[in-house]
Amino acid sequence: MTIGILGTGAMTVALGRRFVETGHEVVIGSRDPQRARAVALAIGAADGVDHRAAARADIVIVAVQDSAALELVGALAAVLRGRVLVDLGNPIDPPHFESRYGAGPSLAERMAEAAPGARVVKAFNTVYAELLEAGRPVQVFVASDDDAAKDVVAGLVTAIGCEPFDVGPLRVSRHLERLAGFEVDLVERGYAGATAAQIVDLRR
């Protein structure tokens, strides 16, 4: 199963490296294929290409700056139809890191609208890249209306040594994006170097 990661920032490097280490074929996509190739080379990924080519992977992870994510996904909608599309973006801005969308639909829900037929899963947005880089076995919340797609992403989470936690349908991504805002607000005020919220399920 190939994984395409769009963007060349901290999350691409952290997740891409973990996926490569666990034997997955990873392709990096960028506005600048040369930058994608440099990142691919640095982490041992199969190739660095433009966004459209990377979006032909079995699983496509959108790891571009959140403000650019919807336009990019809209432009790639035809390619993304039927693919598992992972949104890890956080539509939050300084100074207080509340959701840019208020109580309205989340970035993930808007992504599902922008790319009809894509199997959108929200995941990884509450985990700091540094924790993934450090190999910490953190909990990763996974939300989607597509249970099979959610299982695929949960499998990836398990493969990199983290703990998938199914939080329910895609609408729950509204909470996940606000939770990330809370984490970033804490970090920006010096509470911790990096965060990943955890839920203890007493039924287990």
Ligand X SMILES: NC(=O)c1ccc[n+]([C@@H]2O[C@H](COP(=O)([O-])OP(=O)(O)OC[C@H]3O[C@@H](n4cnc5c(N)ncnc54)[C@H](OP(=O)(O)O)[C@@H]3O)[C@@H](O)[C@H]2O)c1
Closest CB 74 distance from ligand X, rounded Å: 12
Q: Taking Cα atoms as reference points, which of 100, 105, 200 lies closest to residue 143?
A: 105
Closer CB to ligand X, 82 or 121, in the complex: 121
Closest C-alpha among 130, 129, 126 to residue 176: 126
- Identified binder of ligand X from the candidate list 3, 4, 7, 85, rule CB under 6 A: 7
Min separation Cβ 4 and ligand X, Å: 13
Site string for ligand X, 105-144 (x = CB under 6 A): --------------------x-xxx---------------
| Closest CB to ligand X among residues 3, 147 | 3
Name the residue among 82, 83, 165, 159 with its Cα closest to residue 127. Answer: 165
Decide if residue 10 touches ligand X (CB under 6 A): yes
Residue 9 in contact with ligand X, rule: CB under 6 A: yes
112: number of CA atoms within 13 Å, CB side?
16
Please state the closest distance from residue 202 (CB atom) to ligand X, in A: 27
The one among 90, 99, 106, 195 contacting ligand X by CB under 6 A: 90
Q: Judge contact between 128 and 9, C-beta under 8 A.
A: no
Q: Is 168 exposed, middle or buried (0-12, 13-18, 19+ CB in 10 A)?
A: middle
3-class DSSP state of 182: helix
Binding site residues, ligand X, CB under 6 A: 7-12, 30-32, 35, 63-66, 68, 88-90, 125, 127-129
